[in-house]
Amino acid sequence: MSKLPYSSEQILTESLENLTPPRRASLLCRGSDRVGLTAAPVRVILDDVAIRGDLALKELALRLDGVSLESLEVPRARWVEALDAIDPDLVAAMKRAIRNIEVVQHALLPVAATVSPEPGIVITRQPIALERVGVYAPGGRAAYPSSVLMGVVPARVAGVREIVVCSPPGPDGCPSGVVLAAAELAGVDRLFAIGGAGAVGAMAYGTETVPRVDRIVGPGNAYVAAAKLQVASSVGIDSPAGPSELLVIADATANADVIARELLAQAEHDPEAVVIVVAIGEEVARAIMLRVMAALPTQQRRDTIEKALTSRGAFLWTSDVGTAIDFSNDFAPEHLLLAIKNAAQLLPRLRTAGTIFVGQSSSVAFGDYMTGANHVLPTGGLARSYSGLSVLDFMRFTTYQQVDPDAAASLAGDVGTFADAEGLFAHAATARQWGTSEWSRS
């Protein structure tokens, strides 16, 4: 029997316009408490790794993963063995994904920009790839080779000199074979059998074996998320990540079975995954709900899906597309699927989403694996201020400034006035020296 608090005879849908303020707030404010609850033990782990390095990592592997590691680093020969052992169809799929990611990321590469705001002043903003980055690849209950590709390939396209991957060890002391194979295909430089907060600390601070990196990216559990937040003052990180999210805007042109499958697919990620439909019309919402209920008993990850639907699911409806768009912009979903007539025409009005899938055939699953766009995306409403992972996360920008003597003489007086007003008199003197006739003749 379903654990859900409703049945096919009593479909629970909610009018978007009639949501009470507390109910609306409960939908919008969906940050996970798990990161906060793990903050204290994560701090202990990070401090231990910072002080004791490799020894702390090996003790963590024994205590948390149940494996005794002789070496933290996995030799490349093991990656090659893993690649040779996996299904050729999976190899072909990963190669196709890599090609598509490369094409997309090459198109996003920034170029230097040069401008002259006044005669004699030349400003250049130059993109420069990071030296070394760390990619976290989840393990434990599930292994995600796709996450390896999503982190590694953009870094390689950006021109990062060294790419390090950390992933939890299995019973044999190595990460999952599919993770090793993905690392070999994607062009990883070094790979370590360490996971959780310890891996984040190792990449942030460096140990005897694990090199310190300039940025850490990749999804993980609450411990990984908390660790990334705590090391953010020492190393760059991607956007803080939480459970997967999907918001669907659907109208009567949408196929209810298709939308139901999309909801089930995202709900199977995590018991705290967020899956919400905003339907144009109550009957559309009810039809999608019925398809979800009908398909639920056949799902292999039914328990996970039920928990997600119970705690984070909602079937909302409105008669107005504009109201649906306003809700979506407030919600700022990780994934937004537009299963609606003339979906592309809505795009200029949709301002906050990690990624938008235009039309019901643009399945979120395609974006998770194969379109070339990245699946490492902001969650919890952070799409208001963060973007999905790309080559830009693996680059920094340096500004070059050149001022010729004539321009220096022109700037001297105004800069001196600014500096005097701020009480920085040495600044004023430095500027004004260029306004003298002595310098203008040189």
Supply the DSSP string of 398-423, one letter for each residue: EEEEEE-HHHHHHHHHHHHHHHHHTT
Provide the β-strand partners of residue 321: none
Q: Considering Cα of 153, then 155, then 158, then 159, what sign does the dihedral take?
A: negative
Tens of pLDDT along 35-71?
567 788 999 999 999 999 999 999 999 999 999 999 9
HSE toward the beta carbon, residue 288, CA cutoff 13 A: 32
Q: Are strands 395-403 and 121-129 parallel, antiparallel or unpaired?
A: antiparallel
Gap between the Cα atoms of 93 and 405, Å rounded:
59
Active site residue 118: no
Gap between the Cα atoms of 386 and 224, Å rounded:
19
User: Residue 196: which residues within 8 A CB-CB, separation 6 or more?
Assistant: 45, 60, 64, 168, 220, 221, 223, 224, 227
**Phi, psi for 376 (deg, rounded to 5):** -90, 105
Specify the length of the chain in residues: 442
Contact 290, 256 (CB under 8 A): yes
Contact 325, 349 (CB under 8 A): yes
Q: Considering Cα of 23, then 29, then 32, then 38, what sign does the dihedral take?
A: negative
CATH class, domain 14-30+242-387, is alpha beta
Tens of pLDDT along 131-171?
999 999 988 667 889 999 999 999 999 999 999 999 999 99
Nearest CA to 102 out of 154, 146, 151 is that of 154
Q: What is the pLDDT of residue 221?
A: 84
Supply the DSSP string of 336-385, one letter for each residue: EEEESTTGGGGGGG----SEEEESTTS-HHHHHHTSSS------TTGGGT
Task: Choose the catalytic residue: 14, 335, 427, 438.
Answer: 335
Task: Choose the catalytic residue: 245, 269, 334, 375.
Answer: 334
Nearest CA to 45 out of 221, 169, 166, 226 is that of 226
Active site residue 272: no
Q: How confident is the model at residue 1 (pLDDT cuts 50, 70, 90)?
A: very low
CATH class, domain 35-113+130-237, is alpha beta
Take residue 381 and report the two structure tokens written for it: 């409403």
Tens of pLDDT along 234-269?
999 998 778 899 999 999 999 999 999 999 999 998
Q: What is the pLDDT of residue 11?
A: 57
Tens of pLDDT along 405-437?
999 999 999 999 999 999 999 999 999 999 875
Q: What is the pLDDT of residue 143?
A: 82
Q: What is the pLDDT of residue 266?
A: 94
What is the domain partition of the chain in residue ranges? 14-30+242-387, 35-113+130-237, 404-441
Residue 247: enclosing H or E segment and its boundaries? strand 245-250
Same fold: 14-30+242-387 with 35-113+130-237 = yes
Q: What is the pLDDT of residue 425?
A: 97
Q: What is the pLDDT of residue 33?
A: 56
Three-state DSSP class for 153?
A: helix
Tens of pLDDT along 93-134?
999 999 999 999 999 999 999 999 999 999 999 999 999 999
Phi-psi region of 206 (alpha: psi -120 to 50; beta: other; left: phi over 0): left
